[in-house]
Homo-oligomer: A and B are copies of this chain.
Amino acid sequence: MKIPSIAIARLSVYARNLELLDQKGVEVVSSVRLADACGINPAQIRKDLAYFGQFGVRGVGYYAKELILEIRNILNLDKKWRLGVVGAGNLGSALLRHAQFVDGSYTFVAAFDRKPKRIGAKIGGIEVSPIEAMNDIVKKMGAEIGVIAVKPDWAQEAADLLVAAGVRGILNFAPIQLQCPAHVFTENADFSLRLEALYYKLTPARSRRKRHMKSGSVIAPK
């Protein structure tokens, strides 16, 4: 059975809201209450969870701690995932520094850049290596997921290098769609796309420039 990506992404949201409720001392949560906390329809929650098993007690609800453990198991959050980042500029450095303080499911084990001046710097405890060393270091450090924090013009090349070095997952902060072989999974984390969606919503239609309709440019292309 193929499980929709969006259902998997919502599991993370359920787990976080369950953790907040658990911290407040809530032991049992109805799907209506969980739905309310998540801003999601209760039927959607039941449907999403049904992909992974049968949870909860009829007429009672979900045991918060139990469901948290189940979701952590499904998403494999108790493993410490090993990440390598390509790009040690502003974004890459920020991610490396941020990760130091996150007691979470991941840790950076390698960082790469192609600019000679950045090589050898230590950021968030990780030394920046040249991209030529990627193959060796990814294997030696056991990096499983590559993070792309480079400008769009060489994001695809960075992805190709990561795939050749053996990573099987890529988190892409660059605003392009990566082309990767079928055995490699990619996820897009470029927040400027979300910002631009906000710009659109905040712009009154009347304030957009009127397009100049030209006879040569109003026909659909082949």
Task: State the copy count for this chain.
Answer: 2
Q: Please name all residues of chain B whose beta carbon is closer than 8 Å to the beta carbon of A40 when the two chains form the complex.
A: 177
Q: Please name all residues of chain B whose beta carbon is closer than 8 Å to the beta carbon of A189 when the two chains form the complex.
A: 191, 194-195
Q: Judge whether A152 and B62 touch: CB under 8 Å.
A: no
Write out, one digit per residue, whether chain A residues 90-125 have a CB within 8 A of any chain B CB (1) or not (0).
110111011011101110000000000000000000
A139 within 8 A of partner (CB): no
A side interface size, CB within 8 A: 95
Residues of A within 8 A of B (CB): 5, 8-9, 11-13, 16-17, 20, 23, 30-31, 37-40, 46, 50, 53-63, 66, 70, 73-77, 79, 81, 89-91, 93-95, 97-98, 100-102, 104-106, 144-145, 152-153, 168-171, 173, 175-179, 185, 187-189, 191-203, 207-209, 211, 213, 216-222
